[in-house]
């Protein structure tokens, strides 16, 4: 008898549990969505109205994420630092952010935090002017809240919030690298900072890359919260559309499909990256 498995043998081996039914369902949803967007005028109208928010959603997420990575890296280094001030400051930041709902944080940072910051800069500028440093002081004291549009406040709010989440990811990544690596670097005469930068961080970041990417997907979704600041992202635009036309079904189906498209595509990219990383090990 011939023992080499034929194609039909392998097909017979596939069982119901081996198929990603949930994924097929998502594909069906997309097919259905494409169908209605192509055939129904109501949906086309909603889509054309809401799509003007796509750029804002993507731009807000990308910029806020870039700032959050920088902030998170800094705070993550602080969490493992032996410097008492830096360490406690980072811990305080992370705990404060984690203890407050994101929606409240967004209101707080955009409508209280930023104005407080501006007042502080103004006071500092006025002080500089009073001690005779008018050249630097004058522009700082005249610096108004107008300088921060709601869009930029939304970005600041998202960055500060996600910075705390990313800090914990970076901390875990750094702590996953064995202590021998730091010792080897130090024994070669590299400083703590040099060893961190050239030896520890490249390995740590690689370990947490999937987690970082997942948080980007989460950020894209959470960027919908900035609609409470009247920033015209897809959530806000769909609310406006629904409010003025009373076509709630069209508005919210359209915006849901848009988010789903973004997150499903991004998640697939993350999975691809994870597989790549695993194969390189």
Partner 1 sequence: MINPHDNTEPRDMIVVKDLYKHYGHVKALNGVNLTVKKGKVIVVIGPSGSGKSTMLRCLNHLEKPTSGEVWIDGLLLGKDEKALNEARTEVGMVFQLFNLFPHLSVLENVTIAQKVVRGRSKDEATDIAMKQLKRVGIPEKADVFPTNLSGGQQQRVAIARSLAMNPKIMLFDEPTSALDPEMIKEVLDVMLDLAKEGMTMVCVTHEMGFARSAADEVLFMDEGLIVEHTTPHGLFNNPKEERTKLFLSQILQH
Cβ-based nearer residue to partner 1, 194 or 271: 194
Q: How far is the CB of 166 from partner 1 (least distance, A)?
A: 21
Q: How far is the CB of 201 from partner 1 (least distance, A)?
A: 10
Secondary structure element (H or E) that encloses residue 225, with its range: none
Residue 235 to residue 50: CA distance in whole angstroms: 8
Measured distance CA(186)–CA(245) in Å, rounded:
66
Give me 142's structure tokens: 């005249």
The least CB distance from residue 9 to partner 1, in Å, is 37
Cα Rg for the chain, rounded, in angstroms?
Answer: 25
Mask of contacts with partner 1, 141-160, x by CB under 8 A?
Answer: --------------------
64: CB partners within 8 A, 6+ apart? 154, 155, 158, 159, 162, 219, 223
In this structure, what are the phi and psi dihedrals at residue 209, rounded to the nearest 5 degrees?
-55, -45
Closest to partner 1 by CB, 91 or 186: 186
CA 35 to chain centre: 31
Site for partner 1 in 179-218 (CB under 8 A): 180-181, 183-192, 194, 198-199, 202-203, 206
Q: Report in angstroms how near the CB of residue 216 gets to partner 1 at its nearest.
A: 23
Tokens representing 233?
A: 């992202």
Closest CB 197 distance from partner 1, rounded Å? 9
- Cβ closer to partner 1: 13 or 180? 180
Name the residue nearer to partner 1 (CB basis): 175 or 256.
Answer: 175
C-beta of 204 vs 270, nearer to partner 1? 204
Which residues, 6 or more positions from 26, have their beta carbon under 8 angstroms from its beta carbon?
Answer: 260, 264
| 136 binds partner 1 per the rule CB under 8 A | no
Residue 240 beta carbon to partner 1: minimum distance, rounded to whole angstroms: 49
Percent of residues in the chain assigned helix, strand, coil, to nearest 5: 85, 0, 15
* Cβ count near 198 (within 10 Å): 11
Query: Which stretches of the chain are DSSP H helices?
Result: 7-13, 21-39, 41-50, 54-80, 84-98, 102-108, 114-130, 134-141, 150-175, 179-187, 192-195, 201-222, 234-245, 248-280
Least Å distance between CB 189 and partner 1?
3
Residues of span 221-250 touching partner 1 by CB under 8 A: none
Token pair 């990417």 is found at 213
Nearer to partner 1, 41 or 281 (CB): 281
Size of the site for partner 1 (CB under 8 A): 19
Binding site for partner 1 (CB under 8 A): 178, 180-181, 183-192, 194, 198-199, 202-203, 206
């Amino acid at each position: 008898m011939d023992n080499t498995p034929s194609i039909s043998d392998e097909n017979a081996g596939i069982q119901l549990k081996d198929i990603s039914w949930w994924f097929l369902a998502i594909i069906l949803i997309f097919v259905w969505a494409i169908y209605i967007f192509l055939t129904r005028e109501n949906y086309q109208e909603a889509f054309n109205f809401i799509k003007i928010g796509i750029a804002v959603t993507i731009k807000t997420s990308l910029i806020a994420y870039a700032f959050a990575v920088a902030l998170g890296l800094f705070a993550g280094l602080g969490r493992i630092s032996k410097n008492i001030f830096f360490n406690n400051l980072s811990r305080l930041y992370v705990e404060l952010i984690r203890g407050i709902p994101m929606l409240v944080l967004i209101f707080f940072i955009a409508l209280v935090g930023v104005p407080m910051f501006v007042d502080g800069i103004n006071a500092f500028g006025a002080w500089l002017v009073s001690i005779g440093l008018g050249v630097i002081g004058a522009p700082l004291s005249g610096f108004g809240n107008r300088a921060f549009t709601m869009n930029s406040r939304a970005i600041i709010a998202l960055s500060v919030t996600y910075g705390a989440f990313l800090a914990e990811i970076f901390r875990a990544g750094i702590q996953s690298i064995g202590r021998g690596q730091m010792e080897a670097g130090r024994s070669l005469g590299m400083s703590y900072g040099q060893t961190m930068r050239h030896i520890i961080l490249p390995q740590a970041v690689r370990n947490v890359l999937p987690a970082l990417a997942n948080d980007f997907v989460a950020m894209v979704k959470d960027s919908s919260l900035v609609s409470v600041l009247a920033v015209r992202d897809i959530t806000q635009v769909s609310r406006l559309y629904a409010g003025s036309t009373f076509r709630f079904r069209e508005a919210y189906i359209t915006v849901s499909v848009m988010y789903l498209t973004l997150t499903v595509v991004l998640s697939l990219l993350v999975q691809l990256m994870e597989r790549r990383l695993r194969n390189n090990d």
